[in-house]
């Protein structure tokens, strides 16, 4: 549903526009960003960095084009944080609750999830098949001084490289994947035994068709038309079955519900009709 993880959204990214009006005028002297452009002058094209920086600013503007995503991002981060804290016996409200955990975010887009997870203490690898997304995410992380290991690669390639993680996170990606069983097998292979897998995707229901395709693409125009193909949406039972086949058991399933009246989102375990979030534990 959200374009940062959609390969097709690449072509539709908007041009940069002024982010905010600042009373003291724009400053570009924040040390973090100047470090980026001076650290490796031989390999970094300044004009290109500026271009990606502008795209990143657009993605990260909570009042901008991706406003709906920003409004539900805190909910899903809290969901992941709480599940990981429970699984690994941490206090979810303490500073750096994810310290020492190695996570991979597959389909990381501009880093809207990878970066906050890193700020919560995790070692995060951010993976995206679109090179441009990786550049945008890297530029932003450098600007904000957060360390994320961004890689322009795929889940399959990570498996081949023998990478292992405490948790694999892949949100709003399943509905765009060509071979779902293969993708879920790869994700499970990347998780250490007793580790967790997080997925968010769209349910194949009439309500999801009306909300996500007619609503988000045609009526509200949050997304370019054609972003989603309803036939590729997955029922929670189908995801659970694929996971079970690979030795992972779904531990929690919840809905993410949009309230059109005030533009807010909420986590609602009773309504998984449109957008849902689940996590599974690898038991074998």
Partner 1 sequence: MANSNSDSEHRTTTGDLTTEVVVVGGGLAGLSLACALGTAGVPTLCVDRESPEQQAADGFDLRTTALAHCAKQVLAGAGVWTYLAKDAQPINDIRVVDQGSLLHVHYDHRTIGDEPFGYVLDNAVIRAGLFQRVAELAAVTHLAPAAVHSIERDPAGVRVTLADGRRLQAKLVVGADGRGSLVRQSAGIGMPRRSYNQTALICNIGHEFPHHGLAVESFTPNGPFAVLPLTGNRSSIVWSERSDRAKLYAKLPDDLFVAEIQRRVGEFLGKIHLASGRAAYPLSIMLADRMIDHRMALIGETIHAIHPIAGQGLNLSLRDVAALAEVVVDQYRVGLDVGTVDVLERYQRWRRFDTLTLAGVCDSLVHLFSNDLPPLRIARQLGLGAVNQMPTLKSFFMRHAMGTTGQLPRLIAGTPL
* Minimum distance of partner 1 from residue 230's CB (angstroms): 31
Residue 107 CA to residue 119 CA, distance in Å, equals 19
Tell me the H-state helices in 60-125. 67-87, 114-119
**Burial grade of 54 (CB within 10 A; 0-12, 13-18, 19 or more):** middle
Tell me whether residue 113 or residue 155 sits nearer to partner 1 (CB atom).
Answer: 113
Tell me whether residue 69 or residue 191 sits nearer to partner 1 (CB atom).
Answer: 69
* Minimum distance of partner 1 from residue 54's CB (angstroms): 11
Span between the terminal Cα atoms of the chain, in Å: 31
Per-residue exposure over 55-78, b if at least 16 CB sit within 10 Å of its own CB, e if not: bbbbbbeeeeebebbbebbebbbe
Close Cβ partners of 247 (under 8 Å, ≥ 6 residues apart): 188, 282, 283, 284
Close Cβ partners of 94 (under 8 Å, ≥ 6 residues apart): none
Q: Specify whether the CB–CB gap between 56 and 110 falls below 8 A.
A: yes
Selected from 16, 44, 51, 77, the binder of partner 1 by CB under 8 A is 77
Tokens describing residue 221: 């125009």
Tell me whether residue 22 or residue 270 sits nearer to partner 1 (CB atom).
Answer: 22
Selected from 7, 8, 16, 19, the binder of partner 1 by CB under 8 A is 19
Selected from 51, 87, 116, 164, the binder of partner 1 by CB under 8 A is 116
Stretch near partner 1 under the rule CB under 8 A, chosen from 28-36, 157-165, 173-181, 272-280: 28-36
Residue 237 CA to residue 137 CA, distance in Å, equals 33
For partner 1, what does the binding mask look like between residues 253 and 282, x meaning CB under 8 A? ------------------------------
* Minimum distance of partner 1 from residue 77's CB (angstroms): 4
Tell me whether residue 77 or residue 159 sits nearer to partner 1 (CB atom).
Answer: 77
* Minimum distance of partner 1 from residue 116's CB (angstroms): 3
* Minimum distance of partner 1 from residue 259's CB (angstroms): 15
Closest CA to 120 of 88, 98, 91: 98
* Minimum distance of partner 1 from residue 180's CB (angstroms): 29
Residues 198-227 that bind partner 1 (CB under 8 A): none
Tell me whether residue 5 or residue 188 sits nearer to partner 1 (CB atom).
Answer: 5
Tell me whether residue 115 or residue 128 sits nearer to partner 1 (CB atom).
Answer: 115
For residue 55, the 8-state DSSP code is H
* Minimum distance of partner 1 from residue 149's CB (angstroms): 16
Angstrom CA distances, 232 to 156, 209, 221, stand at 20, 11, 20
The size of the interface with partner 1 (CB under 8 A), counted in residues, is 37
Q: Specify whether the CB–CB gap between 24 and 246 falls below 8 A.
A: no
The residue ranges that bind partner 1 (CB under 8 A) are 19-24, 26-28, 30-33, 35, 57, 62-63, 70-71, 73-74, 77-78, 81, 92-95, 115-120, 143-145
């Amino acid at each position: 549903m959200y374009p940062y993880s959609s390969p097709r959204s690449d072509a539709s990214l908007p041009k940069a526009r002024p982010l905010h009006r600042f009373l003291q005028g724009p400053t570009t002297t924040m040390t973090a960003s100047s470090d980026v452009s001076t650290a490796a002058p031989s390999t970094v094209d300044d004009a290109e960095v500026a271009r990606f920086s502008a795209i990143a600013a657009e993605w990260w503007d909570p009042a901008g084009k991706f406003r709906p995503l920003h409004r539900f991002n805190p909910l899903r981060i809290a969901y992941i944080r709480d599940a990981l804290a429970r699984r690994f016996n941490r206090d979810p409200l303490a500073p750096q609750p994810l310290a020492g955990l190695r996570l991979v975010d597959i389909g990381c887009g501009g880093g809207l999830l990878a970066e906050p997870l890193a700020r919560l203490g995790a070692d995060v690898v951010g993976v995206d098949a679109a090179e441009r997304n990786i550049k945008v995410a890297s530029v932003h992380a450098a600007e904000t001084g957060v360390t994320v290991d961004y890689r322009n690669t795929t889940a399959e390639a990570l498996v081949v490289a023998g990478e292992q993680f405490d948790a694999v996170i892949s949100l709003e990606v399943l509905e765009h994947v060509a071979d779902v069983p293969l993708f879920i097998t790869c994700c499970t292979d990347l998780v250490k035994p007793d580790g967790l897998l997080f997925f968010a995707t769209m349910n194949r229901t009439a309500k999801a068709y009306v909300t996500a395709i007619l609503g988000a693409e045609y009526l509200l125009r949050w997304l370019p038309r054609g972003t989603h193909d309803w036939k590729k949406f997955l029922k929670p039972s189908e995801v659970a079955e694929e996971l079970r086949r690979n030795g992972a058991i779904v531990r929690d399933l919840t809905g993410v519900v949009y309230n059109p009246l005030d533009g807010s989102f909420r986590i609602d375990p009773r309504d998984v009709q449109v957008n849902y979030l689940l996590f599974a534990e690898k038991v074998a």
